[in-house]
Structure 1
Amino acid sequence: MSTRTIHQWKSISLVEEDLTLPNNKAVTHTTIRHPGAAVILPVTASGDILLLNQYRPSLKKWLLELPAGTMETGEDPMACAHRELIEETGFKAGKLFSLGQVTPLAGFCDEIQHLFIAKELSESNEYACDDDEVIELVTMSLNQLHQKIIDGCITDAKTIACLSKATLCGYI
């Protein structure tokens, strides 16, 4: 099996590899290699949800979404979730529960997104989003969040997946 890195950006790379599929067919496949990410559903004491209104340059528009971020080298998913929650919202979690994981782009990317629900939130003095992030913090009720998904105002897959998993697991 031959592997070639076509492009590298931060910890994400575009890799082309020659491989043999389970049906013995030889192909060249291109994959975005991604270190993984944490997605956090922050729930306030009153049951409201903290979301981000974040400008996404790839789409050239604003998205309403849950806080999330890429894992650093050697970082475990829960540590990433704690770090990203603070960096993007200015809140820290007293309790953080794992909801499992999702594979958002399996056709061309190896990213695994680890889902969490954060409770017992308290303000942190460590708020500091990345230089390439433009973020506004938004709070809404669970009913408002559901309606925004129904209306198509929230289209972010990780947000919909994390909310669904938290609901199915009985956390909200």
Structure 2
Amino acid sequence: MSSRQIHQWKNIALTEQDITLPNGKSICHTTIQHPGAAVILPIDPNGNIVLINQFRPSLQKWLIELPAGTIEPNESPMSCAQRELIEETGFQAKEFISLGQVTPLAGFCDEIQHLFIAKQLTTNQQLDCDEDEIIEVVTMSRNELEQQIIDGNISDAKTIACLSKAKLCGYI
């Protein structure tokens, strides 16, 4: 299998690969290579969920979503979750529960998102956002969050997936 990098941006790359499919057919497939991400479902002491309202330049609009971020080189998914929670919400958590993984864009991207619940939150500091992040912290009850999803006001896939997994596993 040969591979060619077409473009690199930060730690994400666009590559083409000559591969042979299970049926024996050879194709050239283009993949976005992504180091993975951590998605955090923070639950405050009152049982409310801490979210962020973030301006997303790719969509040219604001999205309400769970805090999340890309895993840095030599960083574990758990360390990424801890770091991103502090950077994007100003909270830290004494307890993290792993909910496993989701593959959000398997048709053209190899990203794996690692899902976590964060509990026993304490205020840590001011937000420490990346240069291209504009973030406001938002808190909602689980019922409010679910209604926002039903109404179409929250459409972020990682948020819906993480909330669903936490609910199906009986954590919320």
The offset of 1:126, in angstroms, is 6.0
Superposition map of 1:1-172 within 5 A = 1-125=1-125, 127-172=127-172
Counterpart code for 1:168: L
Secondary structure in structure 1 of the residue aligned to 2:80: helix
Counterpart code for 1:93: A
- For structure 1, the 5+ residue unaligned runs are none
Number of residue pairs matched?
172
Q: State how far apart, in whole Å, the 2-side matches of 1:165 and 1:47 are.
A: 17
- For structure 2, the 5+ residue unaligned runs are none
Q: State how far apart, in whole Å, the 2-side matches of 1:59 and 1:37 are.
A: 20
Q: State how far apart, in whole Å, the 2-side matches of 1:127 and 1:98 are.
A: 24
Per-residue CA deviations over 1:9-52 (Å, capped at 9, x if unaligned) read 00000000111111110000000000000000000010000000
Q: Point out 4+ residue stretches in structure 1 off by more than 6 angstroms.
A: none
Q: Root-mean-square deviation (CA), in Å? A: 0.7
Q: State how far apart, in whole Å, the 2-side matches of 1:61 and 1:126 are.
A: 24
Q: State how far apart, in whole Å, the 2-side matches of 1:156 and 1:126 are.
A: 25
The offset of 1:127, in angstroms, is 2.9
